[in-house]
Copies of this chain bind each other. A is one copy, B any other.
Amino acid sequence: MSLSGRHPQATAPPPREPERLSLGVAARLSRYLQVLTQAKKMGRDTISSQELAEYTHVNSTQIRRDLSGFGKFGKRGVGYNIDSLLAQIRRILRTSGQHNIALFGAGHLGQAIASSDVFADHGFQIVAIFDTDSGKVGQEIGDALRVRNYGDLAAVVEADDIVVGVLALPAAAAQAVADDLVDHGVRVIFNYSEALLQVPPEVTVHTSSPAVDLLYALYFYLA
């Protein structure tokens, strides 16, 4: 269970953080974060677990249960204050740190990702974009980013402390870039291509792509 252990009721226990969030909880919390961020942009001040449930497709009891495991963030009869809940979830997900991302591929998908303001909204930063097509080197992408020469990879990974490599390139090119990233110490690879990447056990690959996401949804809703 998520409420791990009983507290002595005499003294009010501080909100507890389990050492490690379960995958399910972390996934749901990040979905709440996404909806809260957007609701805030729309000028909302508070939101109920019922509304969060409609937008996330997570049961409202599950939402209240997820949140109450970390503290009493809501107000009965009112709902949750959006600013306050955003701050709490960010704290729980430990997103205060600055993490730098390198993006590979300046095609349509790479440009779509580089232009997204999702990362700025959530404290991550794309610090470099590479393309093996030398014709694209120097081209301006998104917000103040320029396509860099692939040969700079090693220098950039070291200088900017790149922890995640994002592959937004054709399947045929993905493995070679993954190999280079692994050689230079990058431990997390986000793979938007359809390639089945071979990496050493200490490296984590997360594969998903917009088209494959859509495919999943189609199976759910049409089957």
Contact = CB atoms under 8 A, between A and B. Distances in A.
Contacts of A221: 164, 188, 204, 206
Nearest to A213: B208
**Secondary structure at chain A's binding surface: helix, strand, loop or mixed?**
helix
A209 B108 contact: no
Contacts of A30: 215-216, 219
Contact of A94 (B116, B122, B223): B223
User: So how many copies of this chain end up in the complex?
Assistant: 2
A212 interface: yes
Interface residues of A, number: 62
A62 B102 CA distance: 34
Given A37-B194, A116-B210, A188-B221, 9 more contacts: A23-B220, A38-B171, A38-B196, A108-B115, A112-B112, A116-B211, A163-B222, A164-B222, A206-B217
Interface of A: 21, 23, 26-27, 29-31, 34-35, 37-39, 42, 55, 93-95, 97, 99, 101, 107-109, 111-113, 115-116, 118-119, 122, 124, 163-164, 166, 168, 171, 188, 190, 192, 194-196, 204, 206-223
